[in-house]
Amino acid sequence: MRLDPFYLIVDSAGWIERLVPIGVRLVQLRIKERPDSEVRSDIRIARTICDRHGCQLVVNDHWRLAIDEGCDFVHLGQEDLAQADVAAIRGAGLKLGISTHDEAELDMALTVRPDYVALGPVYPTVLKEMKWRPQGLARLATWKEKIGSTPLVAIGGLNIERIDGVLTHGADCAAVVTDITRSQDPEGRTRQWIAATSRWRMAPSTDRVLGKPGRPSPCPK
């Protein structure tokens, strides 16, 4: 499995309506503290838009609703992983991404054979308070050595200037939230992210750790 190097994370279908048509290929719908009825509605809207534009939708936490609405990818944090029915998720044919912050969490994540592992925060983040110190680039390389061919997502404090750093240290894609959603021009910033990750989109994944963009080749969905 290969992920697009630009992983957008947003908290509503409204953001997906605005940004996915620009050319986003991988987006996570991360909704917190809203009624299930509203979450379900947003998932339906998001799925329709993503299907129309060839974008992979990942639903954060709400795995039951994701199954009900015919989605094919969910993301779970560690607490959610402990409470989730992984057998039901896999039985429904969904792919699964898992958050990690330390070695114990990585070991736990690997027991469910995830389709990707996320490591964060790589840099200081303003999105939420974290009990973990910034991981740094060297930690990404360590994680990639441990997980091998499983895709690695870098998250936390990322901006355009930091993209190449995380992708040359083992990450397969860079996840972004506030650098886009708090931008004065989210659409323009999204275009900048798409452009900044373009050479990595065409690079063989084995070249990324070496920092070589590689020769262009078709990118699987």
Range list of H helices, the chain:
13-23, 36-53, 63-68, 78-83, 86-91, 103-110, 137-147, 163-167, 178-181, 186-196, 198-201, 205-208
Residue 37: count of CB within 10 angstroms of its CB = 9
pTM reported for the whole predicted model: 0.91
Dist CA 96 CA 84 (whole Å): 11
What is the tens place of the pLDDT at every residue in 53-70? 999 999 999 999 999 999
* Domains annotated on the chain, with CATH: 6-208 (3.20.20.70)
Tens-place pLDDT, residues 75-120: 999 999 999 999 999 999 999 999 999 999 999 999 999 999 999 9
